[in-house]
Chain A
Amino acid sequence: MSEKILYTKEHEWVIVKDNIVRVGISDFAQSELGDVVFVDLPEVGDVVEEGEGFAVVESVKAVSDIYAPVGGEIVAVNEELEDSPELINESPLERGWIAEIKVEGVAQTGDLMNQQEYEAFLKGV
Chain B
Amino acid sequence: MRYIPLTQAEKQEMLDTLGISSVQELFDDIPQHIRLDTDLDLPEALTEAELVKHFQALAQKNTDLNSVVSFMGAGAYDHLIPSAIKHIVGRGEFLTAYTPYQAEISQGVLQSTFEYQSLIAEITGMEVANASMYDGATALAEACLMACAATRRELVVLPSTLHPEWQEVVKLYLENQDVQIAYLPYDGQTGLIDAQALEGVNWSEVACVVVQQPNFFGLLENAACLGERIHEHGGLFIMAVDPISLSVLKAPGELGADIVVGDGQSLGNAMGFGGPSLGFFATSGSKLVRRMPGRVVGETVDTEGRRGFVLTLQTREQHIRREKATSNICSNQALNALVAAIYLNILGKEGYQEVGNHCLQKAHYFKQQILTIDGLSSPFSAPSFREFVIQGDVDWEEINLKLLEKGFLGGLPLDRYGLPGHVLFSVTEARTKEEMDTFTTLLRGLI
Contacts and interface: CB of A to CB of B under 8 A. Distances in A.
Nearest to A60: B314
Q: Name the residue among B290, B314, B315, B324 with the largest chain A CB count within 10 angstroms.
A: B315
A62 B320 contact: yes
A63 interface: yes
A40 interface: yes
A27 interface: no
A58 interface: yes
Interface string A46-64: 0000000000001111110
Contacts of A63: 315, 320-321, 324
A61 B290 contact: no
B290 A40 contact: yes
Contacts of B314: 60-61
B100 to A, nearest CB: 15
Contacts of B321: 63
Contacts of B320: 61-63
9 contacts: A38-B290, A38-B315, A61-B314, A61-B315, A61-B320, A62-B315, A63-B320, A63-B321, A63-B324
Contacts of B290: 38, 40
Given A61-B320, A63-B315, A63-B324, 11 more contacts: A38-B290, A38-B315, A40-B290, A58-B315, A60-B315, A61-B314, A61-B315, A62-B315, A62-B320, A63-B320, A63-B321
Interface of B: 290, 314-315, 320-321, 324
SS class of chain B's interface: helix, strand, loop or mixed? helix
Interface of A: 38, 40, 58-63
Contacts of A59: 315
A84 to B, nearest CB: 14
Q: Name the residue among A40, A58, A59, A62 with the largest chain B CB count within 10 angstroms.
A: A58
Contacts of A58: 315
Nearest to B287: A40
Nearest to B322: A63
B313 to A, nearest CB: 8
Contacts of A60: 314-315
A58 to B, nearest CB: 4
Contacts of A62: 315, 320
Nearest to A53: B324
B409 to A, nearest CB: 50
A56 to B, nearest CB: 8
A58 B314 CA distance: 10
A52 B315 CA distance: 20
A40 B321 CA distance: 14
A42 to B, nearest CB: 13
A35 to B, nearest CB: 12
A58 B324 CA distance: 13
Contacts of A61: 314-315, 320
A62 B320 CA distance: 6
A94 B320 CA distance: 28
Nearest to A82: B286
Contacts of B315: 38, 58-63
A56 B290 CA distance: 12
A38 B290 CA distance: 10
A63 B313 CA distance: 11
A59 B315 CA distance: 8
A63 B326 CA distance: 13
B101 to A, nearest CB: 11
Top-9 shortest CB links A-B? A58-B315, A63-B315, A63-B321, A63-B320, A61-B320, A61-B314, A62-B320, A60-B314, A38-B315
Nearest to A62: B320
A13 B343 CA distance: 54
Contacts of B324: 63
A41 B195 CA distance: 39
Nearest to B286: A82
A91 to B, nearest CB: 22
Nearest to A56: B315
A16 B76 CA distance: 62
Q: Name the residue among A38, A61, A63 with the largest chain B CB count within 10 angstroms.
A: A63
A116 to B, nearest CB: 34
A40 B290 CA distance: 10
A61 to B, nearest CB: 6
A59 B321 CA distance: 12
B105 to A, nearest CB: 19
B349 to A, nearest CB: 35
A60 B315 CA distance: 7
B435 to A, nearest CB: 54
A45 B206 CA distance: 23
Nearest to B312: A60
Nearest to B321: A63
A21 to B, nearest CB: 25
A3 to B, nearest CB: 33
Contacts of A40: 290
Q: Name the residue among A59, A60, A61, A62 with the largest chain B CB count within 10 angstroms.
A: A60
Nearest to A59: B315
Contacts of A38: 290, 315
A38 B324 CA distance: 16
A58 B317 CA distance: 12
